[in-house]
Amino acid sequence: MDPGGVIERHLPIHHVCGAVVQKVAEVSSPGVVRHTITSADRFALGELDGRRSERIVAVSDMLERAGLATPISSQIRPEKWFKLWANLVWNPISALTQATVLEMHDSPRAPTSWA
């Protein structure tokens, strides 16, 4: 995501790899963010051109050794767009209901196909 190429003019694109973080967190009080560790936590990585490079494998391996799930994606750009779409859908509902995504997921009113 680089509208107008501003970043690329200052940082060569071959120095950039994509990442999409899926992490459960909530603001539990003003200025306090609570992180919850779940099996859904992941830190997807990928080269912008979709190839499986040595550096992306090395970064993934390093983060895996640190305990993070870091799958390598050949489609990192669509993953970024999917996360943006999901944020656009779930964040307003969460703000209106004051429920976390986990609470919405675990609600008896949630569709059973989510489970």
CA 63 to chain centre: 15
Amino acid letter for position 64 = E
Among the listed residues 2, 24, 23, 20, the one whose alpha carbon sits nearest the alpha carbon of residue 12? 2
Element (H, E) at 101: helix 101-106
User: Tokens at residue 68, please?
Assistant: 């993070």
- Among this protein's residues, is 23 annotated catalytic? no
Which of the residues 83, 90, 94, 99 is marked catalytic? Answer: 83
Where in the sequence numbering do the catalytic residues fall?
83
